[in-house]
Amino acid sequence: MQTLINLIINGVAVFVTGRIIPGVAISDFFTAIVVYVVLAVVNTFIKPILIILTLPVNIMTLGLFTFVLNALVILIVDAIVPGFKVDGFISALLFSLVLSIISSMLYMLTG
């Protein structure tokens, strides 16, 4: 039951973020849930590889390059999920930042 609640909360967060950020389009709520699931899978399997490959750059930028990696992960999800469209790198970067803020706020509200 908790997994279903987390799925819905994160789906709402993705859907709301897609409505707030210009340059991001999500066709419907089901697509938002699919975006969340694909984003979780990409974050689990692909992002650690990207972090290891870019470790020297990440160290030189004191971890700020991680924001670039988050935007790249959003662009990967954009390429995979139909009905989810991100216009460019800046939109993907904003989407990733706002999504983390909205998700945090929703989790604080729901306990």
pLDDT tens-digit series, residues 7-60 = 999 999 999 999 999 999 999 999 999 999 999 999 999 999 999 999 999 999
65 pLDDT tier (thresholds 50, 70, 90): very high
Domain hosting 55: range is: 2-110
Give the C-alpha separation, 76 to 110, whole Å.
30
Distance, CA of 19 to CA of 21 (rounded, Å): 6
The burial of 34, by beta-carbon neighbours within 10 Å (0-12 exposed, 13-18 middle, 19 or more buried), is given as buried
- Is residue 11 within 8 A of residue 36, CB to CB? The reply is yes
pLDDT tens for residues 49-63?
999 999 999 999 999
How many domains, the chain? 1
pLDDT at residue 52 in the model: 96
pTM: 0.92
Asked whether the predicted pLDDT for residue 111 surpasses 80, the reply is no
